[in-house]
Homo-oligomer: A and B are copies of this chain.
């Protein structure tokens, strides 16, 4: 069984089952509750939204993952169970308890995730009916179905996988994510669940997850909004039976996590609500890492830059203006800009209409890179975003109606 051919086994990880059902939370009747189950107790690590308004399932799951162990993840889409007060907390607890009872495990071994409309009470009758079916349907081939069920405004399912070798054994990482809008570090309406059969200590897992999320999911922005519900959870069940990881094995595993999370993050940016193109913003020559990140994020979140990319307009003045207000150290007359490999600004001055025209041809592509050299130092950073389109406005003006 090789993993690089598509098929039912492609996203399979030994020991992990999944399922999904249509509980009736999504208006279109599609699948909206997913369950992931690890046959064996797993090491678990998570990263959660830093928004001060945290949804009930976030608060509950932060508590449950504290132990460094988990066995199941139950997730619903269609309702965020956020800003729902004490009933919301009770509902999140009930979701964990219902799943635990049916699975015959402890409620605090269950992670709960929710995404969807904020401020509406969850219909627990629907969840209750769903749980029995979810447990019944659990299968080793269920991961793609679960990935589909957690989608909201996403236009495609987001899955990624990796195979590595550590401690003498082959292991797998499979990840799913959802997210298309309200995406902005640190953690937006973005859910990510990664499953691996590596054997890894909780502490090593925790460290590897934190640093991988920082460099991947936290480098994606769609609209600068962050959500109440984000979480990235990684479960490692140890079935690969590798020996204890040495430091270089941990680094290799972290590389794998970063690859899977990076691919999922790119998919999220590409699927940004209404987006017509993926934009990678690479800043180099910054005076500090903070400057590099601030520069990249300010440009990435500028509505004027994002609409210019939508309009295929190499309007570099807007990029300069965004850099100028980003608070970084800069000398305008040292800035160089490129669209892909075409230089459009050199020493703060435009490279002429010919260059802009060639750049605008590149901007018609589905993916385009904006490179910025500040010539202030040696720091660099990269942020992924998408353009700002008529469809973004349509999607978000009509979301609840």
Contact = CB atoms under 8 A, between A and B. Distances in A.
Top 7 closest pairs, chain A to chain B, by CB: A118-B317, A311-B397, A53-B324, A307-B396, A51-B324, A52-B324, A223-B303
Given A321-B53, A350-B119, A307 B226 contact: no
A396 B304 contact: yes
A171 interface: no
Given A83-B332, A311-B396, A311-B398, A318 B53 contact: no
Interface in A340-358: 345, 347-350
B388 A320 contact: no
A389 interface: yes
A297 to B, nearest CB: 12
Copies, count = 2
A307 B303 CA distance: 13
A308 B400 CA distance: 9
Interface string A350-393: 10000000000000000000000000000000000000111011
Residue among A224, A348, A401 having the largest count of chain B Cβ atoms under 10 Å? A224
Interface string A31-55: 0000000000000000000111110
Given A51-B325, A228-B321, A303 B396 contact: yes
Contacts of A119: 316-317, 320, 345, 349-350
Contacts of A225: 302-304, 318, 321-322, 325
A117 interface: yes
A310 interface: yes
24 contacts: A51-B324, A52-B328, A53-B330, A53-B332, A54-B332, A80-B317, A82-B320, A83-B316, A83-B317, A85-B333, A85-B348, A119-B316, A181-B304, A184-B325, A225-B302, A225-B303, A226-B325, A228-B324, A303-B388, A307-B396, A308-B397, A308-B399, A315-B399, A315-B400
Interface of A: 50-54, 80, 82-85, 117-120, 181-182, 184, 223-228, 301-304, 307-308, 310-311, 313, 315-318, 320-325, 328, 330, 332-333, 345, 347-350, 388-390, 392-394, 396-401
Contacts of A182: 304, 318, 321
Nearest to A394: B390
A227 B388 CA distance: 19
B393 A82 contact: no
